[in-house]
Chains A and B, each alone.
Chain A
Amino acid sequence: MPQFTDLLFYAFAGLTLLFGFLCVANPLSRNPVTSAMFLVLTIISMAGLFVLLHAFFLAAVQILVYAGAVMVLFLFVIMLLDLKEEDRRKLNKTAVGLGSLAVLGLAGVLVRAMLAAKPVIAAGSKPVEGSTKELGRILFESYLLPFEILSILLLVAMVGVILLSKKDLK
């Protein structure tokens, strides 16, 4: 049923955009926790988009890492800081206007680029399957070096955080 998946795509895409907007500029509440929760919803709707692309692994990891771990830590920090200032701050109308202008401009550039590009699926090439095995093979064969460099980058960040948080290192 292709129409049904199309419908789902539009639903998830719309939800992603809507939640994303509510995350940055919620007219009803300036509460940081609300923004964080809308970010979680954005991430979950994006996972839905990944599922529609048959990238199940990416969808699962998206929820596991971003919604499940990173955002919980965000929430943790927000709650500990207890940001009352943010709550009272009014929505800055000029900022929203200028921001949406910038977003519209960027979206325009993207749409133009997409219209100008002519996507060609090379004859005989297999459709991309997002299975875990394939992904692992690609990561550890073709892209091994970038992958390892990224892990070192994360490790460096981690060591840096530990250094910063420990005031009296022996």
Chain B
Amino acid sequence: MLENILSDPSVQFFLFSAAKIAVVFGVVMTFVAYAVLVERKVSAAIQDRVGPNRTAPPLALKIPVLGRLLQRWGMFQPMADGLKFILKEDFTPAYVRTIYFWLAPAISVIPAFLTLAVIPFGSNLGQQKMVIADLNVGILYTFGIVSLGVYGIVLAGWSSNSKYPFLGGIRSSAQMISYEIAMGMSVVSLFLISGDLNLSKLVEWQANHGWLVFYQPVSFVIFLVAAFAETNRLPFDLPESETELVGGYHTEYSSMKFALFFLGEYANMIASSAMMVTLFFGGWSLPFLGKPAESLLGGLIHIGIFIAKMIVLMIVFIWVRWMLPRFRYDQLMDLGWRRFIPLALANIVATALGVALFNR
């Protein structure tokens, strides 16, 4: 009876998809926690400090050498941070628009996770393709979901019913809309070259022909900068710039609701790093490991390659944050509209001409 149900292809599809979703979610959550730690350690290194090196649960120090080492590396810090967020008082100011105030953090987190659904994070493991949803319109889906991400921030700013969050929300919506256009146009040239909107196909193309970053350096630069703007990170963190707007859109938030915004920012960072790996750096493939895996080990190696590339890009995100000062708002808008959009358009035209000339 049970075997009959399990051998049904649609049930299998359902079960495997559920398993993939659960694993990806777990991995991303862990990544978020440790990305915060890496951020603190990297910023400490850049500013010539030590960074978190004190936290340890009571019994961990009893482990001979490892305990001390993990404590020095701050490996227990994320746990303490998480616990702190949960235990803090969740304060809702009296003057806020309650429903939106509660909804906004959730709305800002969900899109970040949804974009991960179409990213091929490995070739295959056994019979299963290592992508949650192998959509034919993959990239369009991603941009659709990314464009929904702005609602969380806008609603947070508006529902807080106070000046600074509101300014943060307005800034963020203008910023995100502007850079989405440049971002969307920068990837068009990639698909002109590869000829298919499906992200798995794009990775396969790169495995056979080489990474797209070498074909399209201009669109990579545009995409990278736009990704900084979309994730609201320095040098484009104007929606929450603490020197002028207190905390921007999340000024009125505390405890777990604030943590959700935080989580959303890091999940977005992970999603855009994963996106860049897929689009420009050949996804799970390496120049000499381009065939879809046949063995279980090969599949795991491909997943490992993908994650390694992603970590490198995330470190770039973190590194840039601590090296560059914040842009002024008019500079940001100028860069988006008057530099990047014409550049991206010119890039599309040039690529189209190139493809038409060489791919006869």
A55 shortest CB reach to chain B, Å: 10
For the complex of A and B, the 4 pairs showing the least CB-CB separation, nearest first, are A68-B147, A60-B140, A63-B144, A64-B144
Q: Which residues of A contact B100 (CB under 8 A)?
A: 33
Binary interface encoding of chain A residues 33-74 relative to chain B, with 1 for a CB under 8 A from any of its CBs, else 0: 100010010000000000000001101110110011100110
Chain A proximity of B233: nearest CB distance (Å): 20
Query: What are 18 sample pairs from A and B whose C-beta atoms fall under 8 A apart?
Result: A33-B158, A37-B151, A56-B141, A59-B137, A60-B143, A63-B147, A64-B143, A64-B144, A64-B147, A67-B148, A68-B146, A72-B147, A72-B151, A73-B177, A75-B173, A76-B154, A79-B166, A132-B137
A68 and B197 CA atoms in complex are apart in Å by 20
| Given A33-B100, A79-B154, A132-B197: A68 in contact with B136 (beta carbons within 8 A) | no
Cβ-neighbour of A76 out of B137, B140, B174 (below 8 A) = B174
Give the total of A residues in contact with B, Cβ under 8 Å.
22
Q: Does B74 contact A (CB under 8 A)?
A: no
Q: Which of A33, A63, A68 contacts B180 (CB 8 A)?
A: A68
A63-B148, A64-B143, A72-B151 as given contacts; A79 in contact with B137, CB under 8 Å: no
Determine whether B310 belongs to the interface, using a CB cutoff of 8 Å to chain A.
Answer: no
**In contact, B135 and A56 (Cβ under 8 angstroms):** yes
A122 at the interface (CB under 8 A from B): no
Binding site for A on B (CB under 8 A): 10, 100, 135-137, 140-141, 143-148, 150-151, 154-155, 158, 166, 169-170, 173-174, 176-177, 180, 197
Contact of B180 with A76 in the complex, beta carbons under 8 Å: no
Given known A-B contacts A67-B147, A68-B148, A72-B150, A57 and B140 have beta carbons under 8 A apart: yes
A57 to B135, CA, bound (A): 10
CA distance A170 to B33 in the complex (A): 54
Contact, CB under 8 Å: A69 / B169: no
B136 touching A56, Cβ below 8 Å: yes
Q: Chain B contacts of A164 at CB under 8 A?
A: none
CB <8 Å contact, A132 and B136: yes
Most buried by A among B135, B145, B146, B147: B147
The residues of A that contact B173 with a CB separation of less than 8 Å are: 72, 75-76
Closest CB-CB distance, A81 to chain B, in whole Å? 12
